[in-house]
Amino acid sequence: MASKPIPPHIKNRLEQIVNIPTLPQVLAKVIPMLSDPRVSAREVARIISQDQSLVSRILRIVNSAFYGFPRQIKTIDHALVILGFNRLKAAIFTASILEVFKDGKNAIGFDVEGFWEHSVGVGVVAKSIAKYLRLPNVEEHFIFGLLHDVGKLIMDYYGKEYYKTVLSHREEKDIPLREAEEEILGFNHSVVGGLVFDRWNLPPDVVDVVTWHHSVVQYDGKYLQSVAVVSVSDALARLVGLGNGGDPYVPDINKNILSLLRLDLAGLDYILSETVSQFEGMREFLDIIRKK
């Protein structure tokens, strides 16, 4: 877990202004199973099969060009055989989060399409970095990147009156969205995402990466490398204009973070070229998200 837990007063404040959503029954069962080594892939498939809407969304995702399988995958069991559990987990997490936000009740002023394009872009960059660094959990880094900013969506859906004020404040003062959140709310979207994901029993690495990706230098927990990867991925995705992170600002990449990851300019150039090469698959992936 993170070495510096979120203070109780911030948790209390969040619960006062955000009607934190609960997960649908099937998702509440499935998500903790994904990080339990005692649970078999077949058991996960059996639970998922109880929700045909979720099954349909997962199969659309795994059949997209993003996954690159030449023949159609028709069942969850088939997906397990072809993709393996680790690759399938990314599709399951994606489909699960989309199920929570499938009704599209976004507030005026928040660019949801741009948000998802940015989120998928960060996921692709994070996966490319993990692959370049030969990290053992490459697929998980796509999940980390995809989910890193979900706190914005949670605020937009479930605390929209407050978030409208945040968006207006950001526009009026022409400041980064994170600063506007902190000035109006006293905390930012990374804290919201981390607290909600913890409430949903998501794996601790997901919770920590989401919570600390804007505060890498303050984090000294066991997932530091992954937190750093997503922080760099966020900046790179903004630099090349992948989607809309809520403001036009590109975060500075801390040299100490690059040193931690042993990334140099040549490595960053390679990673960005890898991201561009996956662009078309990413577009199809985004179309699936938008159709919901």
Domain boundary (100, 132, 150) is at: 100
Entry field: residues in the chain: 292
- Residue 69 shares a structural domain with residue 81: yes
- Residue 95 shares a structural domain with residue 125: no
Please, which pLDDT band fits residue 126 given cuts at 50, 70 and 90?
Answer: very high
- Residue 192 shares a structural domain with residue 283: yes
Over 80: is that where the pLDDT of 109 sits? Answer: no
Tell me the whole-structure pTM to 2 decimals. 0.89
Q: What is the pLDDT of residues 241-290, one digit of tens each?
A: 888 999 999 988 889 999 999 999 899 999 988 887 776 667 777 777 76
Please, which pLDDT band fits residue 1 given cuts at 50, 70 and 90?
Answer: very low
Q: What is the pLDDT of residues 150-187, one digit of tens each?
A: 999 888 888 888 888 999 999 999 999 999 999 998 88
- Residue 69 shares a structural domain with residue 125: no
- Residue 147 shares a structural domain with residue 247: yes
Q: By residue range, what is the domain housing residue 267?
A: 104-292
- Residue 82 shares a structural domain with residue 201: no
- Residue 132 shares a structural domain with residue 174: yes
Which token pair is 282?
A: 């990413």
- Residue 249 shares a structural domain with residue 160: yes
Q: Which residues of 164-194 are buried (b: 16+ CB within 10 A; e: fewer)?
A: bebbebbeeeeebbbebbbebbebbbbbbbb
